[in-house]
Amino acid sequence: MNWPNGLTLLRIVLIPAILYFVLVPGPHFGMIALGLFALAALTDAADGYLARWRRNETNLGKFADPIADKILIISVLLAFVQLQEISAVPVIVIIAREFLVTGLRTVISTQGVVLEASLWGKLKTLSQIGLVFVLLSQSAFPWDAEGVKAALIPIVVAVTVISGVEYFYRFRKLLRKLS
């Protein structure tokens, strides 16, 4: 266990607390959920930076970091589906992309190839974090986020789909060879 892996573990441990403060009504719970999510998002940025800077990249970190990211984003989005703050359709698209890209990572890893995050993958993550911030902020602060959500959700879905297609396009030759 090193610092970057510890930050990834912290992100996973924060998820139930975030969900509690999103789903259970209480005074200032929206602000607490927003603050915890911000902390979790910061650990995502910090763990990768620390791992590269300190040359502490581990197989555990390469596996756990993207899984922690996916669990964090998907669980909070599903909580907002339950609260009827977002439609299930964009969340299903996001989940499907994550399963497909994780499957791609698994298949190409059998050939010793590591699927590094692309620019589109990073934009996907940033856009999804932005959407979650908007959803959380509307419960933390009194403001009408409907217009922002209506504009942001199609952008997030488009970037999510484009990033998935880009990964498959980049590894199309290897996938043909394996089929």
Q: What is the pLDDT of residue 87?
A: 98
Percent helix, percent strand, percent coil in the chain, to nearest 5: 80, 0, 20
Mean pLDDT score of the chain: 92
Q: Residue 84: what are its φ and ψ, rounded to 5°?
A: 60, 35
Per residue in 142-170, pLDDT tens? 899 999 999 999 999 999 999 999 999 99
Q: What is the pLDDT of residue 135?
A: 97
The pLDDT, as a whole number, for residue 70 is 94
Given a contact cutoff of 8 angstroms between Cβ atoms, the answer to whether 90 and 159 are in contact is: no
Domain with 140 in it: 3-178
CATH code for position 138 = 1.20.120.1760
Position 161 scores a pLDDT of 98
What is the identity of the amino acid at 44?
D
Look at the chain and report how many structural domains it folds into.
1
CB neighbours (10 Å) of residue 74?
Answer: 16
Answer whether residue 41 shows pLDDT above 90.
Answer: yes
Q: What pLDDT, on a 0 to 100 scale, did the predictor assign at position 115? A: 80
pLDDT classification of 55: cutoffs 50, 70, 90: confident
pLDDT at residue 90 greater than cutoff 80: yes
d(CA 97, CA 168): 11
pLDDT in tens, 95-148: 999 999 999 988 998 888 888 889 999 999 999 999 999 999 998 998 999 999
pLDDT of 129 reads 96
